[in-house]
Amino acid sequence: MTTLEPGTGPVPDADPEAGTESIGRQAARGLRWSFAGTLVTKIGSFAMGLVLARLLTPDDFGVFAVALAAMTFVMHVNDVGLIAAVVQWRGKLEDMAPTAAAMTMSFSIVVYAFFWFAAPTIASVAHAPEATGVIRLLTAVILVDGATAVRSAALMRTFRQDKLIVANLVGLIVNAAVAISLAAAGAGPYSFAAGLVASFVVTGIMVFVGARLPVRLGFDRTIAKQLLLFGLPLAASLGIEAILLNADYIIIGHLVGEIPLGYYLLAFNISTWALSVISSAVRYVSVAGFSRLSEVDAATLSAGVQRSMPILVTGLMPIATLTAALALPLVTVLYGEKWTPAAVVLPYLMVLTVVRVLASFALDILMGAGATRSTLWVNLGWAIALVPALIYATSHGGIRGAAIAHAIVGLLVAVPVTLLALHKVGVRLAPIVPALARPIVAGLVSGALAMVVAHALDQNPLLELVVGGFVGILSYLALAIAPSQLRQWSGLLARRKEAHAVE
């Protein structure tokens, strides 16, 4: 027997306790795959970035940043929220998939046509007219995204993250081969775009085949209405999120030019290492996991958040604080002295990264709970405060001012609004405040110690980075992990060894 909820498909009856246990096992398996694969992918992307930073100029990075802003925006809104709608769908996937596939493909074609004609205007606003062709090439990835969106969602929905990760890894190899070859041949910013397009095509083919869904298109008005009721508020929210992520590129390019924008892009990319690894890995499973938990009740959803949030913060804090404390030696050692202006903005962007990781996690919770309108209001409030702050700060302080504005608005606007939205869906975070305080304090102390050590070893960037990082990590581990946690982990490892021995 099934029941029907407003704005969704049919919801199968299930035993809540058995369902929750099964969800936990599936999500844990999916998270292991997604985290390991995402980590490998980001390490590969990092290595490719090191090579490209030596083959290309800050001006090339600036032109690419403008095209990247356009691509990121269209990727956020391209599927009109239908990927999350498919993941969250309460009924049978086979009944809904033909309609969803037809809708995503149609939207992709329309959106790409719009951006093809809008590319010269976007490039002109950013004072980078040479970005027109790069925008047109790079935004072609949305056509691949439209063809594979439902199949990607199906893999996420069933926690088959292994197929997604393998496809992404193969795509990374293709991206590196194409981008580095073209950069060495003098293709400039087109090397970035061509590499990404080739990567999307290969990854898309693998996802399309791996999902094993029948190739069917159709249109059911009832299903389409239900998908849009969920997806449209989310699409609007993600579109605003794309503005949050990319307004700085357009504003900086317009106000201070392509070369400072190139430095800013490099710093921003470094600051997103933690966001890319942690949030990308978590997002592969979090929407599906929180969606299943929310089907039980609000208390179950809240308990799931309370268990996972301290783990997320414990992993995030050392990355953020040590990157901020060692910004100058990090940039100098990895990218060379020509990129040192990027180090000035990196500490402020690391504050933004902490906010973005936590906000991204919160938005996944809201999506899983079906509260897509709340995600819209969170991002809208953030964007309304951010855009004028960026314009003012960039006009008076250049790229450093832009980074400071990003950090302040994130802390003073995004965090309170996000907490309010979580409270409205029944998530209670007060019980875990003590568990969050320990890693936050440990991160601040370890960052300060790393900075002191680096200052004492001034004029030797490699030594500053290695010794400062070592001291920072050791101090963080000593302060952040309670003895009771160590005993708990040791007991868990011992039990697993005993279980393997019995087997």
What's the domain range around 304?
8-428
Total domains in the fold of the chain: 1
Determine the pLDDT at residue 160. 67
- 166 burial class (0-12, 13-18, 19+ CB within 10 angstroms)? middle
Are the beta carbons of 111 and 242 closer than 8 angstroms? no
Are the beta carbons of 333 and 463 closer than 8 angstroms? no
Provide the β-strand partners of residue 198. Answer: none
Reading the block at residue 316, the tokens are: 């995030």
For residues 315 and 335, give the distance between their C-alpha atoms in angstroms, rounded to a whole number: 25
Whether 492 maps to a domain, the answer reads no
Are the beta carbons of 255 and 394 closer than 8 angstroms? yes
Q: What is the DSSP letter of 278?
A: I
The tens place of each residue's pLDDT in the chain, 503 residues long, gives 333 333 333 333 333 333 444 555 555 555 555 556 566 666 766 677 777 777 777 888 888 888 877 777 777 666 556 666 666 666 676 777 788 888 888 888 888 898 899 889 988 887 788 889 988 998 888 888 888 877 877 777 666 667 777 888 888 889 889 999 998 888 888 998 899 899 989 988 888 887 777 777 878 888 778 777 766 666 676 677 777 777 888 888 888 888 888 889 889 888 887 666 665 555 545 555 665 566 556 677 777 777 778 878 888 899 899 999 999 999 999 888 888 999 999 999 999 989 988 888 888 777 767 776 777 788 888 888 999 999 999 999 999 999 999 999 999 999 999 888 888 877 778 888 888 888 899 999 999 999 999 888 877 889 999 999 999 999 998 888 876 666 655 665 565 555 555 44
Whether 479 maps to a domain, the answer reads no
Whether 490 maps to a domain, the answer reads no
Strand ranges for 141-219 from DSSP E: none
CA 197 → CA 77, 193, 194, 266, distances in Å? 18, 6, 5, 21
Q: By C-alpha distance, which of 285, 360, 284 is closest to 316?
A: 360
Q: Which residue do the tokens 């994130």 mark? A: 410
Determine the pLDDT at residue 87. 64
For residues 299 and 115, give the distance between their C-alpha atoms in angstroms, rounded to a whole number: 44
For residue 141, is it left (φ>0), alpha (ψ between -120 and 50) or beta? Answer: alpha
Whether 434 maps to a domain, the answer reads no
Reading the block at residue 133, the tokens are: 């062709």
Determine the pLDDT at residue 32. 58
Provide the β-strand partners of residue 111. Answer: none
Whether 457 maps to a domain, the answer reads no
pTM: 0.64
